[in-house]
């Protein structure tokens, strides 16, 4: 090793982009998340996919083994994708970070048969206002009459082996969706025709049931993140953690806990934190950081493992005193070696922003 200079700065670490799934009820959000989780478990080495609190981490190697030749891991330096487990725009709008939406990127699921529906339009409106980059998963392609299933295959492969009639039917549905997007002022096209994903929305035909197109979906998400969001993913890993409360939960043996998505820095089991509360910001000491224990290891003891430290991006359960008034969607900040008043002021100003946004939404 030639690098002996201890003053050399490490390049900022790159965190995992946070992904949210939106769309009309029954269009397949949950099924799509389940499919990705399921494929990751099958494809990955044991432990390669990690179940976080409220989120699922799919590391780059697993993305690459699902996506096959569509993702060469050498082309990427982002560590993978972190999917928020609760789909739907309620969780999307309540979950905010400093800069806007907590999710860095979104998948808008649209049923190819059902097309645009009221909640599709609502979701689009939310994505537009929060300026969140997204792609459209045109789901349930396996229900197109005459569809010939190729489990887990990339879309081009399965598309080419359909009959002309079936392909035509799928094309019609896809172009209807592209037309609907254009009516909402989004210039969109089939993802393989899109050159610039900042200007155009990519539409990826998928089936959450058969896994067809899922390789493409992951490849596009990974590519889009790497290409356009790398700078936003640069974090100070050793810095004080910053996150958002997903849920406030009573947990046997731990009292009130907050399920938190951390999007910057680290949180340690001896940190003091400030959390947005119903009335005033809550200042408290972390008692335990809890991660779900893998199912196979659950016997009679706790469902959770205690950890000393967690780095962004991650989902973690924080046990601490005085969390009864904590709110879903509120900020969480680690104090570490900064003046407590400064951190309280930051949390207060973030809470004020959230209040304004909520009023705007009516
Ligand atoms: P959500 O409300 O958006 O989360 O939708 P779900 O994931 O619960 O799916 C609604 C229904 O559609 C369920 O019965 C699913 O089994 C079915 N479904 C979802 N994706 C697909 C798909 O790709 N193909 C088919 N044939 N059915 C699907």
- Is it the case that residue 148 has pLDDT exceeding 80? yes
Percentage above 70 pLDDT, the chain = 90
CA atoms within 13 A on the CB side of 280: 8
Percentage above 90 pLDDT, the chain = 76
CA dist 292 and 316 (Å) reads: 9
- Is it the case that residue 120 has pLDDT exceeding 70? yes
CA dist 349 and 339 (Å) reads: 16
- Say yes or no: CB of residue 34 within 6 Å of ligand 1: no
CA dist 326 and 362 (Å) reads: 22
CA dist 76 and 220 (Å) reads: 12
Give the model's pLDDT for residue 339: 97
Give the model's pLDDT for residue 291: 92
Quickly state the pLDDT bin for 4 (edges 50, 70, 90): very low
- Is it the case that residue 320 has pLDDT exceeding 60? yes
CA dist 150 and 278 (Å) reads: 51
360 by Cβ neighbours in 10 Å (0-12 / 13-18 / 19+) ranks as exposed
Per-residue pLDDT reduced to its tens digit, 21-34: 999 999 999 999 99
Per-residue pLDDT reduced to its tens digit, 247-305: 999 999 999 999 999 999 999 999 999 999 999 999 999 999 999 887 655 555 678 99
- Say yes or no: CB of residue 209 within 6 Å of ligand 1: yes
Are 122 and 94 within 8 A, CB to CB? Answer: no
Q: Which atom of ligand 1 is nearest to the CA of 139?
A: 23
- Is it the case that residue 355 has pLDDT exceeding 90? no
Report the mean per-residue pLDDT for the chain.
90
Q: Which atom of ligand 1 is nearest to the CA of 109?
A: 3
* pTM for the full predicted model: 0.91
Cα 134 to middle of ligand 1, angstroms? 20
Cα 28 to middle of ligand 1, angstroms? 4
Give the model's pLDDT for residue 43: 56
Task: Name the phi and psi angles at 309, rounded to 5.
Answer: -155, 145
Cα 72 to middle of ligand 1, angstroms? 30
């Amino acid at each position: 090793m030639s690098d002996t200079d201890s003053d050399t700065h490490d390049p900022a670490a790159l965190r995992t982009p946070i992904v949210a799934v939106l769309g009309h009820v029954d269009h397949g959000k949950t099924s799509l998340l389940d499919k990705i989780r399921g494929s990751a478990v099958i494809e990955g080495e044991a432990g390669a996919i990690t179940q976080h609190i409220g989120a699922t981490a799919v590391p780059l190697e697993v993305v690459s083994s699902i996506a096959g030749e569509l993702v060469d891991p050498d082309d990427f330096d982002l560590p993978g994708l972190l999917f928020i487990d609760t789909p739907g725009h309620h969780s999307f709008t309540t979950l905010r970070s400093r800069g806007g939406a907590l999710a860095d990127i979104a998948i808008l699921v649209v049923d190819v048969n059902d097309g645009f529906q009221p909640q599709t339009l609502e979701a689009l409106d939310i994505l537009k206002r929060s300026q969140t980059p997204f792609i459209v998963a045109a789901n349930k392609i396996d229900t197109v009459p005459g569809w010939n299933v190729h489990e887990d295959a990339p879309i081009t492969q399965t598309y080419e082996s359909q009959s002309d009639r079936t392909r035509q039917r799928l094309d019609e549905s896809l172009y209807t969706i592209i037309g609907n997007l254009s009516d909402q002022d989004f210039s969109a096209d089939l993802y393989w025709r899109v050159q610039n994903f900042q200007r155009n929305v990519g539409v990826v035909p998928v089936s959450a049931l058969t896994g067809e197109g899922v390789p493409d979906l992951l490849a596009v998400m990974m590519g889009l993140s790497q290409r356009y969001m790398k700078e936003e993913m640069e974090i100070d890993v050793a810095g004080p953690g910053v996150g958002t409360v997903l849920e406030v939960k009573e947990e046997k043996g731990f009292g009130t806990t907050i399920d938190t998505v951390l999007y910057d820095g680290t949180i340690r089991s001896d940190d003091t934190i400030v959390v947005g509360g119903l009335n005033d910001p809550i200042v408290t000491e972390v008692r335990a950081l809890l991660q779900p224990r893998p199912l196979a290891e659950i016997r009679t003891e706790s469902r959770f493992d205690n950890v000393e430290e967690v780095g962004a991006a991650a989902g973690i359960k924080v046990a601490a005193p005085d969390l009864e008034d904590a709110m879903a969607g509120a900020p969480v900040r680690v104090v570490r070696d900064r003046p407590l008043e400064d951190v309280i002021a930051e949390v207060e100003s973030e809470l004020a922003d959230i209040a304004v946004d909520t009023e705007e939404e009516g």
